[in-house]
Amino acid sequence: MSTPTVPVNLMEAIVSLAKRRGFVFPSSEIYGGLNGFFDYGPLGAELKKNIRDCWWNDMVRRRDDVVGIETSIIMHPKVWEASGHVAGFTDPLVDCKVSKQRYRADQLFFAAVVVDGKISGYVSALESENTAGELQAAAEDLKRKKAIQGQLAPVVAKDMTEAQPDEIALIPSPATGEPGSLTAPRSFNMMFQTNVGAMTDASSVAYLRPETAQGMFVDFKNVVDTGRVKLPFGIAQIGKSFRNEITPRNFIFRSREFEQMEMEYFIHEDADWARCHEEWIAWCEAWLKSIGLPDDHLSRHTHPKEKLAFYSRGTVDIMFKYPFGVQELWGIAARGNYDLGQHAAASGKPQEIFDEATKKKFVPHVIEPAVGVDRIFLAVLCAGYAEEDVTDEKGNVEKRTVLRLSPRLAPVKVAVLPLLKNKEALVGRAKDLYVKLKRRYAVFYDDGGNIGKRYRRQDEIGTPWCVTIDFDTIEKPGDTFTLRERDSMQQRRITEAELFALLEEQVY
Ligand code: ATP
């Protein structure tokens, strides 16, 4: 029997588990870490690989209309001029001149403190789940401190991109609590620059890619000419991207080096793009559920028309309920034929397809589902983490931490446990099974400690099944093992053939 509870500070619990069990470490930790960069430990590397493999299998191998590519991280700098990133891949930045802290202007909120219709000062707060509440509390505080009499109006939260020039000097910096040190927002380009070759002058400037998508556009013609593809078709890629985020935060949710899985789905210029867009949104939602994300944590956010780029026809984000709020997990954008058009114009190489029916050439349009591996990684940890009070047959209550990961993603699929480590017959059978399983699956052999403790260690890292080789295995006919299931903790006997059949069905 078990009673699940979610800890009060779920993020803290997850960061601690990730460190303790080798999922995620701060990068260069012995030198104090580097803000916005992370390393994935032995279990994290497996989990991440499983996320990538599931996506690649479902998106590329199991579809007849999508091919995969892998393009270089550093591309010709003209790519980023044509795509608009050199001019426009910016976030609004606000500096605090006193503390030297930097803020993303759209994540720094402020409000006028209005008492009896008169502005008596300003308060500020960083974006959180409760920004308005924090601003209201700060306003009440200010009124009390300044001993102002009268009726305080409910605060109206605005972000720093909306601040009027005469307001900026009056808004307190979140770092110092005092007004006067914040600068007006200015554009900050998030691309990391580097130099290619021995010269470090303007002619050698290049960029680490801020998205993988441009690789698909720039190689479009190569794929069309060699890939035996016909519209509609997609080009997919998984790879690292780099953004010099002003405020990396929320663990691996927003980092400066991360991994993307993107697909460009090219369609006819006259195709029903809205239907295709909707089909891809539905596909992405179904895929997230297939890797174990619960329906009630997922929602959609449709970008309002006025906030779309001029070429964009529509963007819908699939949102996930993280412990720090509902945030973008997967963006699905209908981008028209902007990108191919831009590259055609900048390179002088037409990016067209010949339409046999109309005998006309045209530039295909595109639907782009773009997701971050690290954000999926964090989502599955958040959705899967639970602490439970477990009552055994003797009525003893014990705590267990369990990670309910889908068998598709679990870093270890099966733990093989000989009941005793000093019984040769048990160990021999366990090792034999372990070697067989290892050929196909990530499995773990553990003969240390009592069996209950060994189960707990596996629960905490999300191993869906433990197999115990016990005396019944070697003494009774049938060569069966005890299969213990992670979520229900139920046990049953199973043969080797049945175990392989179970894995074949659940791990795909
Ligand atoms: P955000 O608004 O959160 O900055 P975005 O809209 O700029 O994200 P896109 O450019 O659409 O993101 O990138 C596609 C996907 O890449 C996002 O949905 C997200 O999953 C992932 N992603 C983007 N930026 C980061 C980051 N800094 N760290 C981790 N993943 C990221």
**Residue ranges of domains in the chain, CATH in brackets:** 40-89+193-381 (3.30.930.10), 90-188 (no CATH), 412-506 (3.40.50.800)
Contacts of 184 (CB under 8 A, 6+ apart): 94, 163, 165, 168
Kind and range of the H or E element at 50? helix 42-56
Least Cα distance to 407 among 484, 508, 304 occurs for: 508
Is the C-beta atom of 104 inside 6 A of ligand 1? Answer: no
CB 217 within 8 A of CB 340: yes
d(CA 315, CA 488): 40
Identify which of 354, 61, 69, 369 has the alpha carbon closest to the alpha carbon of residue 231: 354
Per-residue pLDDT of the chain (508 residues; tens, 9 = 90+): 566 677 779 999 999 999 999 999 999 999 999 999 999 999 999 999 999 999 999 999 999 999 999 999 999 999 999 999 999 999 999 999 999 999 999 999 999 999 999 999 999 999 988 899 999 999 999 999 999 999 999 999 999 999 999 999 999 999 999 999 999 999 999 999 999 998 888 889 999 999 999 999 999 999 999 978 999 999 999 999 999 999 998 999 999 999 999 999 999 999 999 999 999 999 999 999 999 999 999 999 999 998 888 888 999 999 999 999 999 999 999 999 999 999 999 999 999 999 888 899 999 999 999 999 999 999 999 999 999 998 877 888 889 999 999 999 999 999 999 999 999 999 999 999 999 999 999 999 999 889 999 999 999 999 999 999 999 999 999 999 999 999 999 999 999 999 999 999 999 9
Model confidence, pTM: 0.93
Distances, alpha carbon 349 to alpha carbons 3, 179, 342, 438, in Å: 63, 54, 10, 50
Which ligand 1 atom minimizes the distance to the CA of 331?
18
Beta-bridged to residue 492, according to DSSP, are 483
Query: Is the minimum distance from the CB of 371 to ligand 1 under 6 angstroms?
Result: yes
Angle at 348 between CA 347 and CA 351, to 5 degrees: 85
User: Which token pair is 150?
Assistant: 């009268």
471/307 Cα distance (integer angstroms): 66
Task: Kindly give the number of the ligand 1 atom that is closest to the alpha carbon of 262.
Answer: 14
Amino acid in position 355: D
Assess whether the C-beta atom of 330 lies below 6 angstroms from ligand 1: yes
Do the beta carbons of residue 205 and residue 74 sit within 8 Å? no
Q: Which residues contact 94 (CB under 8 A, 6 or more apart)?
A: 102, 103, 104, 105, 108, 160, 182, 183, 184, 185
Taking CA atoms only, the protein residue closest to ligand 1 atom 6 is 331
The token pair at 298 is: 């997922």
71 neighbors 218 (Cβ within 8 angstroms): yes
User: Which of 52, 250, 375, 378, when mutated, tests ligand 1's pocket best, judged by the most ligand atoms within 8 Å of its CB?
Assistant: 375
